């Protein structure tokens, strides 16, 4: 028997439930390092449902929680609503929602913040406190106080009008950085929770290893091999360092980084670069360049496997390690490796369509 899904629509600031409405054609996903999305259609078959939907579905103001049974499987914010009527007069509200992280990409830093030798996790928490301490800015995101053990010096200028989410991403993307997401779950008292999750250097969850086989529980898979972003030479650009307005403006430049061992092994020279127009300190720019170069030298493969949902396969797998075993024409000797789940895309069951999930994986360290 399939477990029913329930879609709760709440006031974003107070989390007071406005309504529970049916949603059809649902697709939802969640990731580490990328904001998740939910899309679907709320059917409007009569005047009563229209009145309810009109009150509950307010883009930019409505929170969305997805329950499967009594568990919270997804949470986010309704951002767009497209009211559509077909040729026969049937009315429907098409909705698009972004995970709670999407709120931080719609908030600006309007005051200069300075951090000197502050743990990088505390800098993130300070940015979140700034967001939620402004009038109308508290949407109930919580966090713990665990440190990362890595301190940073940062100055965020209000004159740059930086986006809070972008500042967190840039802080996370330096050498010895971290991963972050906002998780949705129900605590032991039954309360719905939005929790900032930070992991250095990565987010890891779960203790028991799950084994997935193909043929077997893995229905399909895709395995990309992409060298389009490969680079073994690197340099990054920072803010302008020219103090003479009569002269040409030039940016701060990082150290040039070249993987000589790659070249000695026969690889061609492949160059890459990145821009950090607000970074004024060379040490910070070098840390960004080193992290970007490391990532570009060994582009992360993100294979996708499709599995039947339920049992041990739930959104709680984000950050967990699975053991994947594949035997087919390409892998006659059996691929047997451990991978971390960095994303899930869930397809709830509908009219003969089974309840499935795509797991996005990366090689586990």
Record the pTM. 0.88
Give, for 148, the enclosing helix (H) or strand (E): none
Q: E strands along 13-102, which residues?
A: 17-20, 24-31, 37-44, 62-68, 71-85, 91-99
CA distance 93 to 130: 34
Q: Specify the pLDDT at position 244.
A: 63
The structure tokens 């928490």 sit at 125
User: Average pLDDT of the chain?
Assistant: 93
Going by C-alpha positions, the residue among 111, 94, 115, 104 that lies closest to residue 42 is 94
pLDDT class for 188, splitting at 50, 70, 90?
very high
Q: What is the DSSP string of 232-266?
A: SEEEEEEEE----TTSPP-EEEPPPEE-HHHHHTT
- Percent of the chain surpassing pLDDT 70: 97
The model's pLDDT over 141-178, given as tens digits with 9 standing for 90+, comes to 999 999 999 999 999 999 999 999 999 999 999 999 99
- pLDDT per position as a tens digit, 191-243: 999 999 999 999 999 767 889 999 988 999 999 888 888 999 999 999 987 76
Among 7-21, 45-59, 269-283, whose mean pLDDT is lowest?
269-283
Q: What is the pLDDT of residues 342-365, one digit of tens each?
A: 999 998 887 777 889 999 999 755
């Amino acid at each position: 028997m399939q477990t029913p899904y329930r879609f709760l629509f709440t006031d974003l600031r107070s989390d007071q439930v406005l309504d529970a409405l049916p949603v059809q054609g649902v697709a939802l996903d969640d990731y580490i390092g990328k904001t998740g999305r939910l899309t679907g259609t709320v059917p409007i078959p009569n005047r009563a449902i229209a009145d309810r939907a009109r009150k509950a579905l307010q883009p930019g103001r409505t929170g969305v929680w997805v329950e499967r049974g009594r568990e919270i499987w997804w949470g986010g914010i309704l951002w767009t609503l497209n009211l559509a009527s077909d040729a026969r007069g049937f009315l429907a509200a098409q909705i698009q929602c972004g995970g709670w992280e999407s709120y931080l990409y719609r908030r600006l830093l309007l005051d200069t913040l300075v951090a000197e030798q502050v743990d990088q996790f505390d800098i993130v928490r300070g940015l979140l406190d700034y967001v939620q301490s402004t009038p109308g800015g508290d949407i109930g995101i919580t966090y713990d106080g665990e440190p990362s053990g890595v301190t940073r010096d940062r100055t965020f200028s209000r004159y740059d009008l930086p986006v809070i989410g972008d500042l967190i991403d840039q802080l996370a993307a330096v050498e010895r950085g971290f991963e972050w997401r906002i998780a949705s779950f129900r605590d032991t008292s039954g309360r719905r929770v939005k929790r900032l999750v930070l992991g250095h250097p990565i987010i890891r969850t779960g203790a028991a290893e799950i084994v997935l086989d193909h043929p077997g529980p893995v229905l399909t898979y895709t395995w990309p091999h992409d060298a389009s972003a490969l680079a073994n030479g690197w340099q990054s650009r920072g803010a302008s360092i020219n103090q003479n307005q009569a002269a040409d403006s030039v940016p701060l430049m990082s150290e040039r980084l070249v993987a000589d061992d790659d070249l000695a092994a026969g690889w061609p020279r492949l160059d890459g670069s990145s821009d950090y127009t607000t970074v004024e300190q060379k040490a910070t720019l070098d840390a960004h360049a080193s992290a970007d170069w490391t990532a570009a030298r060994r582009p992360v493969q993100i294979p996708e496997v499709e599995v039947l949902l339920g049992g041990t396969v739930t959104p709680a797998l984000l950050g967990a390690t699975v053991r994947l075993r594949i035997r087919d024409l390409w892998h006659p000797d059996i691929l047997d490796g451990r991978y971390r789940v960095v994303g899930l895309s869930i397809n709830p069951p509908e009219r003969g369509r089974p309840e499935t999930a795509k797991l996005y994986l990366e090689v586990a360290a």
